[in-house]
Amino acid sequence: MTEYFDIGGMSCSACSARIERVTSKLDGMNASSVNLLANSMVCDFDESKLTTEDIIKAVEKAGFSASVKANEKPVTKEKYTPIKTRLWASIIFLLLLMYVSMGHMVGLPLPHFINKSPLVFSVLQLILTLPIVYLNRKFFYGGFSALFSGGANMDTLVAIGSLAAIVYGLVAIGVIAFSSNDELIMQYAHNLYFESAAMILTLVTVGKYLESRSKDKTGNAIRKLKDLAPKKATILRDGVEIDIDAQAIKIDDVVIIKPGGGIPVDGIIIQGSTSIDQSALTGESMPVEKTIGDSVMSASVNKSGLIHIKATNVGTDTTLSRIIKLVEETGSTKASITRIADKVSGIFVPVVIAIALISAIVWLIVGKDISFAFNIFVSVLVISCPCALGLATPVAVTVAAGSCAREGVLIKSAEALETLSHVDTIVFDKTGTLTQGNPQVTEVFVYDGSMEEFLTIGASLEKASEHPLAGAVLEHCKDIELKPVQDFSAVAGKGIKGTIDEQLYGGSIKYMEEMGIDLSVAKDDIDRLVSEGKTLLLFGKKDNLLGLFAVADKLKESSTTAIKDLKNMNIDTIMLTGDNKGVAEAIRKSVGIDKAIAEVLPDGKEAEIRSLSESGKRVAMVGDGINDSPALARADVGIAMAKGTDIAIDSADIILMKSDPKDVVLAVKYSKRTMKNIKENLFWAFFYNVLGIPVAAGILYPVWGITLSPMFAAAAMSFSSIFVVTNALRLYKRN
């Protein structure tokens, strides 16, 4: 069976990876996948061998919390102080602490009783640090819990680093309180480093706060999907119209859909004809003509005529429900991207602790006193404080995200930026992504009379029409003076007719042929336009063809350049669309895309992305419609146009505020630069440790009598952090 769980206590990809490892080893577990962003897990297991209680116990044993996911998550009191409160309270205490500890360095006044007493000066810093430690105690609980359970993570790094600074500060206070050496007292009083511990905890909390703001996006997307289908419906029973809840519709019920109404279920039209807007589900740029016997899908919109449909799929079996299920499932099966710092933290932290302990013990064995050994122990911990290691990724990502935002590209998470740097295939939706998303008249041909006369006839007839393409014709002819139309009528799915001095017809090729209009004069034009995938609106009288409008969804100006740039970066490009093959192939050739897949339904788009991922490709999906949301969730990175639907935006990892395809290229370039910067940061962070840890452990003492005091160790640690931050600031440079 398959079961969904809510997971608590995860802070990084090392946490999700550990939970997956632990649960995957359970007897009877077929597959386990953890979604860090959504704090959830989906398990496929043999219920004859394994129970949900067994799974929950295994997760709890690993140091996390778990519960079976409910349809509506209950509101529960947070175990720790809410993150926003922690952040602002930490900042307030940090500012006070920085004023006390460093204010005198820049000439800021301090009360005389503080300046006069080193002990008061030191204890006051401790007092200001303790609230920050308490507010952020979850890092210590989570970090040490993970460490003791064999899975060190970023919380472990934060806890070890800040605790080392606090322990050193406490030792310093002890020296100040009990030493009679005034020089030593002043030395320790000005090198406490409580502010280092407070700064670590506060800065990490800033990052956690920013991450938490994006964690509800998946839930928002699903809620908005559910809101697409109408809540109420009108059905026909025993010849009587009855208003009921849409969820109460049963298979074979006859549902009445009025013009402008949403369709609540999948069904077949049994009465009437109309034009259906399916763009929310299929991505088709043009509404589709439907008549008796044609199928319709839930969440599509009836644009014109009154229709009766017979329900064929209801409840969880409708097209919309299947899309919702895909979004929920693909959020849990998205490839797990592990941060570089998390990959090494499991080894780095225990090794450092071991070095510190072994060094202290060795010096005790060779005859040094406890003070000397503790000095060595603290020095090793402080110089190897993982501030630089912990900052290497988030600082670079924060700077890169800020730079991208300046360019109109919003990055929701560090994982998205990291994953994008490894993408080798980018899949584009067509409508609204590569194209402008609104049909326009691209060409006009006149075969009888003048251009002005033809435009007047076409616009006048379409003015009375409810057909969606009428807007494209009217926009093209907006400066034309219209004439009144008599005896106007619409033939659903075919065309229109009316009288302007004489009987006139407008509509599809098939309708013109039925009306006896001779199309031979336009044969070459029609063949060419149809091969280009354009929609034709023809107008005629008696047996003469007056002219035609070619309507298409135009390409965005930057689409071709964006595809070319991606190909120069050795990235494969694919286009998915619900439009017909003619349109898809024409766009593919115009833009230069490697491959086009046409007539793809929502589950087909998701299936294509899944197929690419399973073949070993690193895939990014670019889209803007509701129908793209499952594919955006399934892809390693989902990229949404800001002018698209809210659901697509919420399902995506990256948002292009200008809805410009060339910003996809910008995002890829920034992701690659960021990953390079992170690797540089990590190198220097470890470089300092490789040089500093042996010195701190006392390797130079036997020959030259040199030891590294905790003050110098902390200074070296601080310098490594400054170096990392400075290097990351280079990402502010524009691409």
Query: In this structure, what token pair is assigned to residue 242?
Result: 């009855």
What pLDDT, on the 0 to 100 scale, is given for residue 330? Answer: 43
Confidence (pLDDT) at 74: 41
Residue 140 pLDDT class (50, 70, 90 cuts): confident
* C-beta atoms surrounding 252 within 10 Å: 10
Cβ atoms within 10 Å of 685's Cβ, excluding its own: 26
Taking residues 570-592, report their average pLDDT.
82
> Per mean pLDDT, which of 412-416, 699-703, 721-725 is the most reliable?
699-703
Average of per-residue pLDDT values in the chain? 80
**CA–CA separation, 572 vs 619, rounded Å?**
10
What was the pLDDT predicted at 586? Answer: 78
Domain 230-317 = CATH 2.70.150.10? yes
Q: What is the mean pLDDT of residues 577-599?
A: 80
The share of the chain scoring above pLDDT 70, in percent, equals 80
Gap between the Cα atoms of 327 and 68, Å rounded: 19
- Cβ contact 33:91 at 8 Å: no
- Residue type at 545? L
Q: Quick one: pLDDT at residue 230? A: 86
481 Cβ contact partners less than 8 Å away, ≥ 6 residues apart? 456
Q: Which CATH architecture has domain 411-435+556-667?
A: 3-Layer(aba) Sandwich (3.40)
CB 229 within 8 A of CB 320: yes
pLDDT at 45: 93
Residue 723 has pLDDT above 90, yes or no: no
- pLDDT score of 323: 65
- Taking a C-beta distance cutoff of 8 angstroms, is the pair 558, 658 a contact? no
Specify the fold of 2-68: Alpha-Beta Plaits (3.30.70)
- Does the pLDDT at position 343 exceed 60? no
Q: Which of 342, 102, 105, 79 is nearest to 198 (CA)?
A: 102
What is the residue whose two structure tokens read 């009679």? 180
d(CA 116, CA 311): 85
What pLDDT, in 10s, does the model give residues 262-306?
899 999 999 999 988 876 665 455 678 889 999 898 888 888 889
345-387 pLDDT, tens digit per residue, is: 556 667 877 888 899 899 999 988 766 787 787 677 667 655 5
pLDDT bin (cut points 50, 70, 90) of residue 709 is low
> Between residues 381 and 133, which one has the greater pLDDT?
133
632 touches 652 (CB < 8 A): yes
Q: Closest Cα to residue 685, out of 387, 349, 429?
A: 387
Residue 454 above 50 pLDDT? yes
Nearest to 497 by CA among 480, 521, 516: 516
The domain defined by 436-555 folds into Calcium-transporting ATPase, cytoplasmic domain N (3.40.1110)
SS3 sequence of 44-108: EECCCCCCHHHHHHHHHHCCCEEEECCCCCCCCCCCCCCHHHHHHHHHHHHHHHHHHHHHHHHCC
pLDDT digits (tens, 9 = 90+) for 7-36: 887 766 567 777 888 899 999 999 888 876
Q: Which two tokens stand for residue 671?
A: 């992701």
| Alpha carbon 721 to chain centroid, angstroms | 29
Residues marked active site are found at: 429
pLDDT of 537 above 70:
yes
